[in-house]
Amino acid sequence: MSETVAPVVRLPSIPFAQRLLKGSGALWFLAVIAGQWLFVYYILAAYMPPTLSGAWERWDEIGLIHGFIEGDLPGNLGFISHVLLAAVITLGGTLQLIPQLRQRVPALHRWMGRTFLAVSVFMAVGGIVLIWGRGTRLNDVTGLATTIDGILILVAAAFALHFIRRRQIDRHRRWAMRLFIFVSGVWYLRVGYMAWGITTGGAGIGERMNGPTDYALAYACFLLPWAVLELYLRACDSRAVAAKLGMAGVMLAAAGLTALGVFGAWMVIWSPHV
């Protein structure tokens, strides 16, 4: 009587799974970098010419939010400062997360980090003031979502500063990554809209941005990337090969959806104004 021996299935080793996980994370980061640099180019190319020429009323032709109010000089200056600083913080944030820059030019990393923290706090507070003090919002539901994101920016900035002062580098790095996610909330919102629109045809999006999808995306634009980041960090710390492989698949999906959203945002939202 012969016995059938079941084949032994060998899972990849932990080092291999870790490399795969890190590689998939790098792909997501590269998709984000490409999209954020395109966003910076859009901001500078679309907002700088009307600002420098004094045709501030043309701001309202660029985005969904009406930024120009006749006779409101402080508010107008606050609005355009917020927009242009978004370009600074977006570019600076991506550079801060490049490990080669941290290792080879540590002094530049430190000074950029201080600038990033300061501008993040300024923009979070300024954004909340614009939303509720100036009415720069589409509706109260999305305004509340942006406010929560602003509060998370303040919390993450405080922890990042706290841990770097204590020289707890790894904990500082993780809070800096969370800060980057929260600061990028507005960018993720645009990318999320485009990815959703391409894959579903825009299901649930209201004519005045007041549909169920609009409300969901207003919160998902920072909560979903945050959740992906936390799962990624935990998978990196895990000794389970299956957890690393599974998370690598999630990261590849996130990279693909991000790239799709960036393509849609460039074609539909950004490039027409450049």
Comparing 71 with 244, which gets the higher pLDDT?
244
As a whole number, mean pLDDT of residues 174-181 equals 96
Q: What CA–CA distances, in Å, run from 151 to 79, 144, 167? A: 19, 11, 25
Least confident window among 73-82, 151-160, 167-176, 180-189: 73-82
Question: What confidence score (pLDDT) does residue 6 get?
Answer: 52
Q: What is the pLDDT of residues 230-273, one digit of tens each?
A: 999 999 999 999 999 999 999 999 999 999 999 999 999 899 88
Q: Are 14 and 241 in contact (CB under 8 A)?
A: yes
Question: What confidence score (pLDDT) does residue 66 get?
Answer: 64
Has residue 5 got a pLDDT over 70? no
Rounded CA gap, 228 and 218, in Å?
17
Query: Which pTM was predicted?
Result: 0.86
Question: What confidence score (pLDDT) does residue 1 get?
Answer: 46
Q: What is the pLDDT of residues 191-216, one digit of tens each?
A: 999 999 999 999 999 877 789 999 99
Q: Is 41 left (phi over 0), alpha (psi -120 to 50) or beta?
A: alpha
Q: In angstroms, how far is CA 36 from the centroid of its own chain?
A: 8
Q: Does the CA dihedral 228-229-230-232 come out positive or negative?
A: positive
**Mean pLDDT over each residue of the chain, to the nearest integer:** 88
Top mean-pLDDT range of 40-54, 77-91, 113-127, 216-230: 216-230
